[in-house]
Structure 1
């Protein structure tokens, strides 16, 4: 079969996948709704700078009093950055979403803020009991992200269906 005939077939066969519903509408979320959605999932991606370049890591998290908390380990790049930054913290972004792979409907939230090490022993113990790492590695530290900017979108079909 020639390339031209393949192109012809591809162009004439209708897309019958469940996600082929046409273009999505992106609806901005308020920060309260975005944080509520973020609290409803346990996995996200932390974005921070490493050697002057953006670095992304998948992590699990809990929400605590409006802050995002993740566990880290000794020698981890984020642990070292947060320690070096001291009480003011280091600028990070945190993203989580729930988007259906077939329909492409759902939501995405991005939080930008300051991450700092949790140094209070009681708080650290509480976070250890609340948040269990899913990698086989000792995670003796916790990092708290205090949101500064919270943005989010909900992906819907044009009639508003989620």
Structure 2
């Protein structure tokens, strides 16, 4: 018979530190300062909500009845990802950000099928679509400038 083992106690967790009211107040003031700075530059005053860019389902002849729909990102993280992908020329990521992985795969498969049947260059079509989307969502000519700029 073995001796009873000592009971292990669970380690105590430190209580969550409360944020000091002055620190919160300072953060609010600082964030308001950022917003006022952006307002003084008149950023975002002329924002227009764009309709999605749609490629009809029969364009790809892949047996899928849904259209391929590309939408501009609406949240900050998505907007930054779109900016980075377009500035870097990361076109697969660009299409995935705007339309999702399914849209990216349908475009690639559709262009490859078309290229195989016609002798066209699938890569040229892919790049052409990406520049079309950049111009559509960021303003005409944005794809022609390294890093692009929003339409004025």
TM bin, normalised by shorter chain, reads under 0.3
Bigger relative contact order, structure 1 or 2 (CA pairs below 8 A, ≥6 apart): 1
Higher strand proportion (structure 1 or 2): 1
What is the TM-score normalised by the length of structure 2? Answer: 0.28
Tell me which structure has the larger Cα radius of gyration: 2
What is the TM-score normalised by the length of structure 1? Answer: 0.27
